[in-house]
Structure 1
Amino acid sequence: MPRGGPDASCLDRLLQTDRLEYLDRDSDVPVDAARKRSVIRALEWTGGWFGSTERFAEIALAEVENVADPKILELGAGHGALSRTLLDWHPSARLTVTDVDAANVAAMAACDLGENPRVTVHEMDATAIDAPDASFDLAVFALSFHHLPPAAAARAISEGTRVAGKLVVIDLPRPPSPLHLVRLATMLPFVPLLPFVHDGVISSLRSYSPSALRALAAYADPAIAVELRGGLLSPQVVVAQRGAPDPLRPNGQRW
């Protein structure tokens, strides 16, 4: 399935790639490992400077506002800044912080996250979550979902909604093709110079549209209800859960 969804235009189908970001490459290659660390540092810095980490924490905690002591699973945690914010803002939340990259997991386990008694740090693949059904109140997958090809993305939705009452995916929006071309054109001159921009261009080309996200959820399990919010000029937010969504929730649009 195209990243733009089953109804993607011919141009939109061209604006995608299977090329790997530095974040996806083998850490055993020294030059790629250094670039990967550079990208992770840039992501952590921009998340703090522009306030996106706090915004993502607000989005996540809103989904468990009625849960006294929520159990939260973060998938693809990377540098762990989101989990730190969730811990700071919710004094009784318990977090399982995971990433598929062993180096990222080791770095998080060796810092304050690994020392926190409310935190468990694990190496874990979002497409094969090592946890029983309904183990968590919430699973959060922020700025990493686009790394997954469609078949794996559908498995992540299936797994996330299996182990948690709700799965929140926060990721890059996929704009209409003309705007997408403009966005790419502003970034391309900096690709040879900045690993962060190199990965940003590929991330943009691998981002999913709303129709793609709906199709992925339906493929994962027709019983999964999906709510989509944001997009275009703000992060795209997906809230997925098995069964009917809350009909009283005032925000968002449902399909």
Structure 2
Amino acid sequence: MAYMAADSTDIDRMPRGGPDASCLDRLLETDRPEYLDRDDVDDGVKRSVIRALEWTGEFFGNHDKFAATALDLIAGVPDPKILELGAGHGQVSRKLLENHPTAQLTVTDINPVSVANIAAGELGSHPRAVVREMDATAIDAPDKSFDLAIFALSFHHLRPAAASRVFAEGTRVADQLLIIDLPRPPAPLHLVRLATMLPFAPVVPFVHDGIISSLRSYSPSALRRLARHADPSIEVELRGGLMTPQVVIARAAG
């Protein structure tokens, strides 16, 4: 699949709330990067955010839920090949390996420090796992190399043009692309959520990044538009997304 629309500049101007976002919703977004995306932030701060993401994912059972969602999509595949993009701490891949006896994982992240940390842990020595540095917008793999590509809680880091490339690349290298990301609630509810977090943002790096993540999250209409921009033939199924993570399942038609 080689289609990519020519209006990358136009798609990059799309509001995170989608083409028909309200005026208030258009105000509730930012181009400010999270600590995790900044080169001028101490690695210790970044590690504290990653540890918090790892802990909250374990405490609320998100790692298990995300892995279960992924495995449901490939339930009929005997020895599935799975690509995790933007793995961060690698815990979703770890759960996938624990819960499927023959799955083969390629665990990737664009951040070399994260990749090194994952490789130094149990995934680095697991016989069914390969850890690699990889860009989710330019995946270094042949067409249909994987049964499933999963991108969990990292999609909002990308500007629209890059996010659209994930749809193109993910559906190119895998039979199915699973994106799990933060919900973008209706603007009034979004304001309430942000107001509860703001007092802690100056002193808690995880909350600081959480606010920016919320402001950069995509609405369902935006997600559909991103997929259509990547290739009009991509089929998109959306689940959840009000107060629970948004689940996007994308497949290349045919």
With the length of structure 1 as denominator, give the TM-score of the two structures: 0.93
SS at match of 1:74: strand
Contact 1:140 1:167 in 2 (8 A): yes
Between the aligned partners of 1:41 and 1:50, the Cα distance in structure 2 is: 14
**Paired residue type of 2:105:** L
Q: Deviations over 1:4-51 (max 9, x none)?
A: 00000111011000001011111xx4x531111000000000000110
SS at match of 1:98: strand
Once the two structures are superposed, the pairs formed by residues 165-184 of structure 1 within 5 Å of their partners are 165-184=175-194
Between the aligned partners of 2:52 and 2:65, the Cα distance in structure 1 is: 17
Contact 1:6 1:211 in 2 (8 A): yes
Equivalent residue, structure 2, for 1:18: 31
Q: What 5-or-longer segments of structure 2 have no aligned partner?
A: 1-13
Equivalent residue, structure 2, for 1:251: none
Between the aligned partners of 1:78 and 1:69, the Cα distance in structure 2 is: 24
SS at match of 1:48: helix
**Paired residue type of 1:164:** A
SS at match of 2:206: helix
Equivalent residue, structure 2, for 1:137: 147
Equivalent residue, structure 2, for 1:79: 89
SS at match of 2:42: helix
Percent of residue pairs identical: 71
Between the aligned partners of 1:49 and 1:106, the Cα distance in structure 2 is: 25
Contact 1:25 1:32 in 2 (8 A): no
SS at match of 1:97: strand
Aligned residues, how many? 241
**Paired residue type of 1:74:** E
Is structure 2 residue 204 aligned with structure 1 residue 191? no
Equivalent residue, structure 1, for 2:104: 94
SS at match of 2:138: coil
CA-based RMSD of the aligned residues comes to: 0.7
Between the aligned partners of 1:24 and 1:156, the Cα distance in structure 2 is: 17
SS at match of 1:175: coil
Aligned mate of 1:48, from 54, 58, 65: 58
Is structure 2 residue 133 aligned with structure 1 residue 120? no
SS at match of 1:3: coil
**What's the offset of the Cα at 1:233?**
1.2
Between the aligned partners of 1:170 and 1:12, the Cα distance in structure 2 is: 21
Question: 4+ residue stretches of structure 1 with deviation over 2 A?
Answer: none
